Amino acid sequence: MSLNIETVRGIAHLARLTVEEAELETHAQTLSRCLDLLAQINAADTTAIAEMAHPLDLAQRLRPDEVTEPDMRETCLAQAPAAESGLFLVPKVIE
């Protein structure tokens, strides 16, 4: 895929980037090469490859699900400027 200077200028505008006029041609060529590489990757046949979450077949180390912190809810709520039913009350932000 070949990008022209106007397309790169539009991409820079959408990304809120300032690109010098002298650099537009270089960026157009670089982005075009990146898109060509992505097209080659998309063309690869991956139907015989199994999906995986991690390249190594490792078991997840789990720890016991135990409470390690004390319950500080009442202490924190006592310091709050406003609380009700165990919840912090805050001013309305959205009109």
Report CA-CA distances (Å) from 47 to 17, 42, 73, 87: 39, 12, 52, 51
Name the token pair of 28.
């157009």
What local confidence, expressed as pLDDT, does residue 38 receive? 95
Domain extents in the chain: 5-42
Answer whether residue 95 shows pLDDT above 80.
Answer: no
The chain-wide mean pLDDT, for the chain, equals: 91
Q: What is the pLDDT of residue 60?
A: 81
Distances in Å between the alpha carbon of 14 and those of 8, 9, 42, 50? 10, 9, 25, 37
Looking at residue 71, what DSSP letter applies?
A: -
pLDDT value of residue 93: 87
Question: What is the Cα 48 distance to its own chain's centre?
Answer: 29
pLDDT of 28-59, one tens digit each? Answer: 999 999 999 999 999 999 999 888 887 887 88
